[in-house]
Chains A and B, each alone.
Chain A
């Protein structure tokens, strides 16, 4: 699509770049702002946590309450991401391949969890799943406690992760070549074989990227969870809330330790997502 463009760039790009003004100013401002607002404060967090020493850090992280909170944040996010992997795939597939009443409306609404402030989502979900709520009451009759339990945490995490899988999968499904499916069908493949052997491998990188993004978002999520969670220490208390509590106790080191553990895992995840995305781009053939 931009073959001509790239050729032009490689021939003249370097010389032109010298002529354009503002390199020092723009890069200088960008780096200063990035450092002051993001990098130095984040580095400070690790310095604070390191103040505990390896021993202190380890003891903090394996203390029952911290460990339970980290396990809920990461475990819950994993379950929510798995739910979104399945339901997000079904939603994206329906959006791309079928027509049904209300489709346009729902397509516009999929981004709602991005746009709706988390506190609003939080109180709405808590009210919806409370024991007397629209969905909480029928669930309670079935003996399922939705709000104020780990299940509530997972529900909120599913809500905020919902757009990621749908949005990363939709464009890839749209671009998937129908000819390959037709070829498979012509060669005698059943529809199920075509889906698992032709379509799924083609969209797998995008699916994994979406799931990883949903997971990363859910791990750090705070606002939409705390209202529905009930926040029982050791049971339904998420790691970000525990950071908040440690701060209110002026335990800066303890708060930093939990935060540093969360960040380290999140950074590794970011790295994995970047690798996935470049794998995705290589496979789809675009630069």
Chain B
């Protein structure tokens, strides 16, 4: 990773990185084979899918690309996606901070169970995340008759989309903050309180600055998933064009209608979002890695 290594890399490609002691490295043939297998696998599974998004998006030229993005339904989908993320991400951020404060700062029974439960949505299929809300709020769900009597729409409307998105993005902020705050300990907050700072000021001036990079990291991943979620939202959306379609759903509709250029053009927006997310994530890991729980083996 250091500069002298990279200049070395140009001189001796496929050279072992850690050390050159012949006893603890492999023969050149083995090294080349393993690196070739690595490159083949990564090019096939990462680079080509990514390349195809942009080549297909631009297959009709830049004008067709821009026209696809200016489509009325696509713009409506972009607005709905931004709106959904603007509700789901802050909700889960507040939850993440509250959960981390309770778990990392206090001892109570069931603490480990709570930590396990927070991770639960990660092992639930996104389709099931949507299904559970249909079972409650759908026309034949438990609250369905009551809701329709009062003319309230939850599923097949934006509230359901926000709920399903909040479900699948639920753990991101909390699982970043809990190990981070546990590792930092509570000495600084204790000092602030001893010196007479009220609770909220202690949180605002002591806790928050200490966790800001971890918080940003969690919010970043939460947001990327919120804007890109497909399965869960697909179940509860009802696919009403221009009304309940998010950007990923718009990609599906365009693709199934054989509007491939438009589908990939809209998809390229989401791919760019992924790039920005990965770029910022790498930057945070490089610049503030010592403050991120994710890099400490949690």
Contacts and interface: CB of A to CB of B under 8 A. Distances in A.
A118 interface: yes
Given A37-B170, A244-B234, A256-B131, A124 B267 contact: yes
B94 to A, nearest CB: 8
Interface centre among B53, B97, B128 (most CB of A within 10 A): B128
B166 A240 contact: no
B186 A37 contact: no
A274 interface: yes
Given A41-B136, A45-B131, A252-B141, A266 B251 contact: no
A91 B267 contact: no
Given A26-B98, A33-B95, A135-B44, A216 B185 contact: no
A67 interface: no
A30 to B, nearest CB: 4
B62 interface: no
Nearest to A24: B102
Given A123-B267, A250-B140, A20 B125 contact: no
B230 A223 contact: yes
A249 to B, nearest CB: 11
A41 B133 contact: yes
Contacts of A87: 37, 41
B234 A42 contact: no
Interface in A159-207: 159, 162, 171, 178, 181-182, 185-186, 191, 194
A121 B45 CA distance: 10
B9 A101 contact: yes
Contact of B235 (A37, A247, A256, A263): A247
Nearest to B251: A119
A175 B141 CA distance: 52
Nearest to A107: B282
Nearest to B174: A30
Interface string B71-105: 00000000000000000000100110111011001
B interface residue count range (under 10 / 10 to 19 / 20 to 34 / 35 or more): 35 or more
Interface in A205-219: 216, 219
A37 B166 contact: yes
A54 interface: no
A5 B183 CA distance: 9
Given A99-B17, A123-B255, A216-B123, A116 B270 contact: yes
A252 B46 contact: no
B290 interface: no
Contact of A112 (B9, B91, B274): B274
Given A101-B13, A110-B46, A227-B255, A270 B119 contact: yes
A117 B52 contact: no
B34 A117 contact: no
Nearest to B252: A119
A148 interface: no
A22 B49 contact: no
Contact of B24 (A30, A159, A181): A181
Interface string A96-128: 111111110010111111111111111111011
B49 A159 contact: yes
Given A98-B14, A115-B224, A162-B46, A220 B128 contact: yes
B235 A244 contact: yes
A269 interface: yes
A42 B228 contact: no
Interface centre among B14, B141, B267 (most CB of A within 10 A): B267
A99 B13 contact: yes
B271 A247 contact: no
A247 B134 contact: yes
B166 to A, nearest CB: 6
A8 to B, nearest CB: 7
A267 B123 contact: yes
A112 B125 contact: no
A45 B34 contact: no
B209 to A, nearest CB: 17
A185 B135 contact: no
B213 interface: no
B16 A90 contact: no
Nearest to B282: A108
B278 A23 contact: no
A34 B92 CA distance: 10
A38 B95 contact: no
A2 B30 CA distance: 40
B208 interface: no
A27 B106 contact: yes
B136 A44 contact: yes
Contact of A134 (B8, B48, B141, B235): B48
A85 interface: no
B38 A41 contact: no
A283 interface: no
Contacts of A103: 9
B5 A220 contact: no
A186 B189 CA distance: 52
B241 to A, nearest CB: 16
B23 A21 contact: no
Contact of B274 (A116, A133, A158): A116
B127 to A, nearest CB: 4
The 5 closest A-B pairs by CB, nearest first: A220-B125, A117-B228, A185-B23, A21-B199, A222-B231
Given A20-B105, A250-B140, 7 more contacts: A27-B98, A27-B102, A90-B38, A97-B25, A120-B274, A124-B267, A220-B127
